Amino acid sequence: MNIVLLGAPGAGKGTQASMLEERFGLAHISTGDIFRANIKGGTPIGKVAKSYIDAGKLVPDEVTCDIVKGRLCEEDVKGGYMLDGFPRNLFQAQELDKFAHIDLCINIDVDINLLMDRICGRRVCSCGESYHVTTLNGATTCKKCGSPLYQRDDDNPETVGKRLDTYFKETQPLVDYYKKQGKLFTVKSGKQPPSEVFAVIAAELGKRVGK
Note if 36 is an active site residue: no
Note if 23 is an active site residue: no
127/144 Cα distance (integer angstroms): 8
Dihedral sign computed on CA atoms, order 28, 175, 106, 143: positive
112/74 Cα distance (integer angstroms): 36
Q: Which does 43 bind (CB under 5 to 8 A by kind): Zn ion, ligand ADP, none?
A: none
Q: Judged by CB, which is closer to ligand ADP: 3, or 53? A: 53
Q: Judged by CB, which is closer to Zn ion: 80, or 194? A: 194
Q: Which does 71 bind (CB under 5 to 8 A by kind): Zn ion, ligand ADP, none?
A: none
75/82 Cα distance (integer angstroms): 14
Q: Judged by CB, which is closer to ligand ADP: 20, or 58? A: 58
Q: Which does 184 bind (CB under 5 to 8 A by kind): ligand ADP, Zn ion, none?
A: none
- Residue nearest to ligand ADP as judged by C-beta position: 32
**Alpha helices for the chain (secondary structure H):** 13-24, 31-41, 44-54, 61-71, 90-99, 112-120, 133-136, 157-166, 173-180, 194-209
State the nearest-atom distance from the C-beta of 9 to ligand ADP, in Å: 3
State the nearest-atom distance from the C-beta of 206 to ligand ADP, in Å: 26
Q: Give residue 108's identity as a one-letter amino acid code.
A: I
State the nearest-atom distance from the C-beta of 150 to Zn ion, in Å: 11
Q: Catalytic pick from 13, 50, 118, 123? A: 13
**Which whole-number Å values give the CA distances from 189 to 86, 101, 106, 137, 144, in the listed order?**
20, 26, 12, 23, 24
Catalytic residues, by residue number, are 13, 88, 122, 152, 163
